[in-house]
């Protein structure tokens, strides 16, 4: 337990040292993230030397978003002991919320351009109708669903990025924690939640275009003539910035007495109750705040992916999230970042056809098919032999007594 | 001495087994009380009921001057009212330092927001030092609780109990696994605590109880078999038959 637990100079005696001073891993992380951002920027196609293609920049930006949801998962699972298998639902909801604005505003701009070529300027109602017909034609409808009422407003949809995942987590968490559902039962419940949401969104009459999802999200209204090579680097910066902010925020939360209490809840929640702490309130707080951060991560991810559909929030996505955190190392934020970054980049490489297939003579290992086997095997091996995950290796580097 | 806690006519049944049977006990403030009895007499269940962990089928548990009905409150609310508990098996948070364990137990606001913004005041720090000294763990403040010896964990838990500054301390087998000198220290500590608060100690070790020098209640099959001074209780024929004689 050398550097995995961030701490604040709360209960310490003597001189009060700064938060960063007490948590060298946070400083290291910030430095490396900054360095990474600078290197990628310099090599990028859009603003740098042109060594890195736009596609790769997008993959790296998306990976940073996955790292952000991974640290949220680490706080809720690794620190507070709630194995949520539904956090990708919040990620997806964040993506849908921003996707609605992207799609609506872009379609509106196109429609106006077209209509204004005519002799009579179009009325607002005409524009609205044409936008609805364009967006929902694919599901055989031409009416704008109620939830799209304010889709043209960026501030409103940005608020939804935070509010929708936050409220869902608050209500779901309140019901679950209040009934003292814990352990594997809670995990199953969160799986059910994300499955139900995904099935619901698959329906055409949900108002979110069913299995078509929202598409063309890489085109940013107001910057439609900016090339993707530039937009990709904007989003890469935004993702790096939010990961940095999220990391600092969670490192601050899990340090000090709050972190002490949630780790105590993880280890023995009954005992924490007898100390007079309202365990359910703490769990709800952590569950909701991590859901909100997941939503923000999703809102940055999907404009880079360009498309979101209900398959994105299928239960398997949330299970992957748990696997990343387990492989990276639970209960340490940088472990979650390492796990998410390493596994998702490896996955992109292997499934993207970048890795050479292995010919064993009698048998051919095709990575696009065998990747899942490798991941499963890796998960089992890490769980059995390295319960501290990849992040645990740092304990060997920094051997100091607590 | 005024009555602090009054348990009256409480019964609880687990799957047909009557663990507590029409039990009535009262404890005053300040008072030191020892509770003895054979295994299965319902001693731990009795503590579970007071602390809100187990709901009785019938009976009343009345607390304090304003006669609050404890059965309506949750574990954490009861703890905040001033009932602290030490478990039979020492349960400290092994992954955290002795200091963090004590800091968590300190009597401060318990809400998530207050805890998030909490910074140890000089007063808090002094209190932690003082408690650590009292339970003999001053030198171990920054050690992980997991590496303490069994007896030291017991003490840490007692320290956490004192940090809560409760009006009623429920202490389940504090002397288990302690060396004779540690036991002596523990008796002193409990006797000192009982000067200002109510302390209820469950113990099997009669030598330990004799040293506590207090009123003794003997439970058997979920109700009170005998109550009074140690000599009175140990001379009771029924107590000898079901407990001491064995």
Q: Characterise B178 by phi-psi region: left (phi > 0), alpha (psi -120 to 50), beta (else).
A: beta
User: Angle at which helices A24-43 and A228-254 pack, to 10 degrees?
Assistant: 180
Which of B 120-179 lie inside 8 A of A, CB atoms?
120, 124-125, 128-129, 142-144, 160, 164
**What is the domain count for chain A?**
1
CATH of the domain at B196: 3.40.50.300
* Closest of A224, A236, A223, A225 to residue A45, by C-alpha: A236
Peptide bond into B153 cis (omega under 30): no
Q: A113 touching B, CB under 8 A?
A: no
pTM of the model: 0.91
Residue A262 lies in a domain: yes
**What is the domain count for chain B?**
1
Expressed as residue numbers, the domain containing A303 is 19-397
Which of A 251-290 lie inside 8 A of B, CB atoms?
253, 256-258, 260-261, 263-264, 267-268, 270-271, 273-279, 281-282, 285
| Residues from chain B contacting residue A249 (CB–CB below 8 Å) | none
What is the band of B164 on the pLDDT scale with cuts at 50, 70, 90? very high
Task: Give the whole-angstrom CA distance, residue A302 versus residue A346.
Answer: 20
Q: B224 touching A, CB under 8 A?
A: no
**Cβ–Cβ gap A264/B96 under 8 Å:** yes
Minimum Cα–Cα distance from A266: chain B residue:
B93
How crowded is residue B54: how many other Cβ atoms within 10 Å of its Cβ? 16
What's the pLDDT tens digit per position in A266-319?
Answer: 999 999 999 999 999 999 999 999 999 999 999 999 999 999 999 999 999 999
User: Angle at which helices A315-328 and A54-73 pack, to 10 degrees?
Assistant: 80
| Shortest Cα–Cα distance, A377 to chain B (Å) | 29
Nearest to B93 among A11, A253, A267 (CB): A267
Q: What is the pLDDT of residue B156?
A: 93
| Shortest Cα–Cα distance, A191 to chain B (Å) | 27
| Residues from chain B contacting residue A387 (CB–CB below 8 Å) | none
Expressed as residue numbers, the domain containing B33 is 2-244
What is the band of A399 on the pLDDT scale with cuts at 50, 70, 90? low
Nearest to A276 among B142, B143, B164 (CB): B164
* Closest of A109, A114, A115, A107 to residue A133, by C-alpha: A107
Percent of chain B surpassing pLDDT 70: 99
| Shortest Cα–Cα distance, B99 to chain A (Å) | 7
Residue A372 lies in a domain: yes
Task: Give the whole-angstrom CA distance, residue B133 versus residue B141.
Answer: 10
A365 - beta bridge partners? A358
What is the band of B175 on the pLDDT scale with cuts at 50, 70, 90? confident
| Shortest Cα–Cα distance, B164 to chain A (Å) | 7
Tell me which H or E stretch contains A236: helix A228-254
Q: B57 touching A, CB under 8 A?
A: no
| Shortest Cα–Cα distance, A214 to chain B (Å) | 38
Q: Cβ contacts of residue A339 below 8 Å, gap of 6+?
A: A70, A323, A324, A325, A326, A327, A328, A329, A389, A390, A391
Residue A296 lies in a domain: yes
Geometric angle at alpha carbon B217, from B216 and B218, rounded to 5°: 120
Task: Write down the ipTM of this complex.
Answer: 0.89
Residue A230 lies in a domain: yes
Residue A366 lies in a domain: yes
| Residues from chain B contacting residue A1 (CB–CB below 8 Å) | 95, 144
Nearest to B104 among A260, A273, A279 (CB): A260
Q: Side-chain half-sphere of A214: how many Cα atoms within 13 Å?
A: 31
Geometric angle at alpha carbon A275, from A269 and A279, rounded to 5°: 40
What's the pLDDT tens digit per position in A92-109?
Answer: 999 999 999 999 999 999
């Amino acid at each position: 337990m050398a550097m995995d637990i961030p701490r604040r100079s709360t209960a310490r005696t003597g001189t009060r040292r700064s938060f960063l001073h007490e948590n060298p891993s946070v400083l290291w992380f910030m430095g490396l993230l900054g360095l990474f951002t600078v290197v990628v920027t310099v090599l990028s196609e859009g603003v740098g030397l042109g060594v890195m293609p736009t596609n790769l920049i997008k993959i790296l930006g998306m990976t940073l978003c996955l790292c952000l949801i991974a640290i949220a998962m680490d706080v809720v699972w690794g620190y507070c002991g709630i194995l949520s298998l539904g956090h990708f639902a919040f990620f997806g909801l964040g993506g849908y919320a921003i996707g609605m604005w992207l799609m609506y505003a872009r379609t509106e701009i196109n429609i106006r351009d077209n209509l204004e070529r005519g002799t009579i300027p179009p009325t607002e109602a005409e524009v609205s109708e044409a936008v609805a017909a364009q967006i929902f034609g694919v599901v055989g409808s031409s009416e704008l669903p109620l939830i799209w009422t304010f889709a043209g407003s960026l501030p409103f949809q940005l608020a939804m990025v935070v509010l929708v995942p936050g409220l869902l987590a608050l209500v779901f968490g309140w019901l679950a924690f209040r009934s003292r559902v814990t352990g594997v039962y809670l995990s199953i419940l969160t799986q059910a939640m994300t499955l139900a949401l995904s099935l619901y969104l698959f329906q055409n009459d949900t108002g979110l275009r069913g299995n078509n999802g929202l598409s063309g999200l890489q085109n940013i209204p107001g910057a439609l003539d900016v090339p993707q090579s530039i937009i990709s680097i904007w989003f890469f910066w935004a993702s790096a910035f939010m990961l940095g902010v999220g990391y600092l925020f969670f490192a601050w939360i899990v340090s000090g007495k709050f972190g002490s209490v949630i780790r105590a809840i993880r280890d023995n929640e009954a005992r924490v109750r007898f100390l007079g702490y309202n365990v359910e309130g703490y769990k709800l707080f952590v569950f909701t705040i991590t859901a909100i951060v997941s939503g923000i991560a999703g809102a940055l991810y999907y404009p880079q992916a360009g498309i979101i559909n209900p398959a994105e929030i299928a239960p398997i996505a949330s299970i992957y999230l748990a696997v990343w955190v387990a492989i990276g190392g639970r209960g340490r934020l940088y472990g979650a970042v390492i796990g998410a970054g390493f596994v998702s980049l490896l996955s992109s490489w292997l499934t993207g056809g970048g890795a050479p297939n292995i010919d064993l003579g009698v048998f051919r290992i095709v990575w696009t098919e065998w990747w899942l086997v490798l991941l499963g095997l890796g998960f089992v091996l890490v769980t059995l032999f390295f319960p501290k995950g990849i992040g645990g290796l740092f304990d060997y580097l920094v051997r100091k007594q607590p | 001495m005024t009555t602090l806690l009054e348990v009256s006519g409480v019964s609880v049944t687990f799957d047909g087994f009557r663990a507590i049977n029409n039990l009535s006990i009262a404890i005053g403030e300040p008072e030191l009380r020892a509770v003895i009895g054979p295994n299965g007499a319902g001693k731990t269940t009795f503590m579970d009921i007071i602390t809100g962990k187990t709901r009785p089928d019938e009976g009343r548990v009345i607390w304090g001057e304003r006669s609050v009905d404890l059965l309506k409150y949750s574990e954490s609310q009861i703890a905040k009212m001033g009932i602290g508990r030490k478990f039979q098996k020492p349960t400290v948070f092994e992954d955290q330092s002795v200091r963090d364990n004590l800091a968590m137990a300190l009597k401060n606001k318990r809400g998530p927001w207050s805890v998030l913004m909490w910074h140890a005041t000089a007063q808090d720090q002094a209190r932690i030092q003082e408690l650590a000294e009292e339970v003999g763990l001053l030198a171990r403040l920054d050690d992980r609780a997991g590496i303490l010896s069994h007896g030291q964990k017991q003490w840490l838990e007692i320290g956490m109990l004192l940090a809560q500054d409760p009006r009623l301390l429920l202490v389940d087998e504090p002397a288990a696994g302690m060396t004779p000198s540690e036991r002596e220290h523990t008796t002193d500590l409990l006797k000192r605590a009982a000067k200002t608060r109510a302390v209820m100690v469950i113990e099997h070790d009669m030598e330990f109880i004799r040293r506590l020098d207090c009123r003794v209640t003997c439970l058997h099959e979920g109700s009170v078999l005998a109550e009074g001074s140690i000599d009175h209780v140990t001379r009771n024929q029924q107590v000898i038959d079901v407990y001491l004689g064995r």
